[in-house]
């Protein structure tokens, strides 16, 4: 289970893009009928860029609290890469050697920055180095880890698909991940995640993992199958423990939801919070503390969130034994003679968290009725029924999930205006091949 923190500002609509290992989150905030770059720090303070800087967005922040992203303006429809350090915003497109980069996508703990001009920038010296290998054209690096390994998109020749090929580069050696391979996040222990076309269909991405060993071997692809009823999905983030997060959609609708993947199975993150006012539509990053940043709808307003794992409660009682005890001891009621047992009732099978909480609430309520202390009975029963009510609310929400409109669908409003109901103007398509961070008005690769 997780606690949830809403990431907002003077105006509530917000959208997050990245997370560092100390819990700082970056993204964008609706402000004055525009969008401004935002940093929500772990200590609950925040930084919001001045609206006078034009439309701005931050995509990534490192552990030293240096953030990178893009700015639109002052020329109309011209995007420029930016770096934010200590509240100062630096236009990277004017730095010699950046080739007028229009966006910065990632930054590692050493300050190496991925620029969409196909270069890596050192944020201290402001020197750059070009990426490239024979046959690799129009390279765009999307992710860089602390060892300097890089992943992104390239075009092998002018006639290839617009989607391009994914690539991974280690120690100067480039690996072609294939046409349509959409890379999203790269950790420090030989794992890259994203998506690939399912059955060759670019409209149906499926989550993808590439792993390699330290001996410069070719990255090996695996595609963990989606659960029954899920139609498409993307891994958007991975931490050094190999835990992954992303978004998926249902077969029966286009509703999107955030998920967590631990290597053995997928979990809808909506089942891991207790606040019924939220619908978590996507998770974009997970750090090494297990915190998850993402986006959702809070009372139908697009709002960024940060999930923090709750500590496990002290194991005073084995819940499965309690359920079995209740079934055996209170499973059959005989007329007016009270509770009676007619042989052991089979113990329940594996339960979802909300199912378990609902049953436990009812079990505790039933057990509390035998307390001799009337005040204690009232307190325990009230708490038990509240647990049951909240669990049932979660089960109903999971079974009848309200429609969650795409957060980044095109054509919903004109750029630079805030839509009704607190929604941000569209910035980028819901497009898994290439980063969600691509500036809306930046040249396509």
Q: For the segment 106-156, what is each residue's pLDDT rounded down to a tens digit?
A: 999 999 999 999 999 999 999 999 998 887 888 999 999 999 999 999 887
Q: Read out DSSP for 26-38?
A: EEEEEETTEEEEE
Over range 172-190, report the average pLDDT: 92
Q: What is the model's pLDDT at position 255? A: 84
Least confident span in 85-99, 196-210, 260-274, 366-380: 366-380
Is the model more confident about 416 or about 83?
A: 83
Contact 290/309 with Cβ under 8 angstroms?
Answer: yes
Cα distances from 373 to residues 59, 163, 199, 362, 377, in angstroms, run 57, 69, 64, 19, 6
Asked whether 59 and 437 are in contact (CB, 8 A), the reply is yes
Q: Which residues pair with 250 in a beta bridge?
A: 230
In the chain, the domains with their CATH numbers are 2-311+403-422 (2.130.10.10), 319-399 (no CATH)
pLDDT score recorded for residue 242: 97
| Residue 161: pLDDT band with limits 50, 70, 90 | low
For 346-354, the CB contacts below 8 A with 24+ separation are 347/320, 347/323, 348/320, 348/323, 348/324, 352/271, 353/1, 353/271, 353/272, 354/271, 354/391, 354/392, 354/394, 354/395, 354/398
Mean pLDDT of the chain: 81
Q: What pLDDT score does 344 carry?
A: 46
Answer yes or no: is pLDDT of 408 > 60: no
Q: What is the pLDDT of residue 430?
A: 32
pLDDT of 2 strictly over 70: yes
pLDDT tens by residue, 28-58: 998 767 789 999 999 999 999 988 878 899 9
Rg (CA), the chain: 25
Residue with structure tokens 């204690």? 376
- Mean pLDDT value of segment 66-83: 86
Answer whether residue 440 shows pLDDT above 80: no
Average pLDDT over residues 377-396: 84
Residue 126: per-residue pLDDT: 94
Q: Which of 34, 77, 30, 25 is nearest to 53 (CA)?
A: 34
Where does the pLDDT of residue 321 fall: very low under 50, low under 70, confident under 90, or very high at 90 and above? low
Please tell me the predicted confidence (pLDDT) of residue 327. Answer: 55
Confidence grade of residue 438 (pLDDT, cut at 50, 70, 90): very low
- Say how many C-beta atoms besides its own lie within 10 A of residue 110's C-beta: 14
**What is this structure's pTM?**
0.75
The pLDDT of 301-310, averaged and rounded, is 96
Q: Can you tell me the mean pLDDT for 6-34?
A: 89
Lowest mean pLDDT among 215-229, 274-288, 391-405: 391-405
Q: What is the pLDDT of residue 380?
A: 84
How confident is the model at residue 313, as a pLDDT?
67
């Amino acid at each position: 289970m997780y606690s949830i923190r809403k990431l907002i500002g003077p105006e509530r609509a917000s959208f997050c893009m990245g997370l560092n290992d100390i819990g700082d989150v970056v993204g964008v905030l609706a402000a004055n009928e525009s969008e401004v770059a935002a940093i929500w720090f772990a200590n609950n303070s925040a930084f919001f860029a001045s609206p006078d800087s034009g439309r701005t967005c931050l995509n990534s922040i490192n552990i030293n609290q240096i953030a990178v992203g893009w700015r639109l303006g002052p020329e109309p429809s011209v995007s420029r890469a930016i770096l934010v350090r200590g509240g100062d915003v630096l236009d990277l497109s004017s730095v010699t050697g950046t080739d007028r980069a229009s966006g910065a996508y990632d930054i590692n703990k050493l300050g190496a920055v991925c620029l969409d001009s196909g270069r890596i920038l050192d944020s201290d010296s402001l020197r750059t180095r070009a990426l490239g290998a024979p046959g690799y054209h129009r390279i765009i690096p999307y992710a860089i880890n602390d060892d300097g390994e890089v992943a992104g998109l390239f075009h092998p020749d002018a006639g290839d698909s617009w989607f391009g090929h994914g690539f991974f580069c280690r120690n100067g050696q480039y690996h072609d991940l294939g046409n349509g391979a959409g890379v999203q996040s790269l950790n420090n222990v030989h794992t890259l995640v994203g998506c690939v076309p399912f059955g060759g269909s670019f409209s149906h991405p499926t989550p993808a993992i590439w792993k390699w060993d330290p001996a410069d071997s070719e990255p090996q692809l695996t595609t963990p199958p989606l659960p029954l009823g899920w139609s498409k999905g993307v891994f958007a983030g991975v931490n050094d423990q190999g835990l992954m997060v992303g978004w998926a959609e249902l077969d029966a609708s286009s509703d999107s939801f955030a998920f967590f993947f631990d290597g053995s199975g997928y979990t809808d993150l909506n089942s891991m919070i207790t606040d019924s006012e939220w619908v978590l539509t996507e998770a974009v990053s997970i750090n090494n503390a297990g915190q998850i940043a993402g986006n959702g709808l809070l009372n139908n307003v697009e709002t960024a969130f940060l999930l923090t794992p709750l500590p496990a409660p002290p194991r005073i009682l084995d819940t499965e034994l309690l359920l079995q005890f209740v079934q055996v001891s209170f499973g059959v009621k005989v007329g007016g003679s009270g509770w009676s047992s007619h042989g052991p009732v089979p113990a329940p099978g594996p339960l979802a968290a909300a199912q378990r909480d609902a049953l436990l609430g009812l079990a505790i309520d039933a057990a509390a009725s035998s307390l001799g202390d009337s005040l204690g009975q009232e307190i325990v029963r009230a708490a038990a029924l509240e647990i049951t009510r909240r669990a049932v609310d979660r089960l109903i929400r999971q079974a009848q999930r309200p429609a969650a409109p795409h957060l980044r669908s095109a054509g919903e409003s004109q750029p630079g205006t805030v839509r009704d109901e607190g929604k941000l103007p569209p910035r980028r398509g819901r497009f898994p091949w290439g980063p969600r961070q691509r500036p809306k008005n930046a040249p396509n690769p």
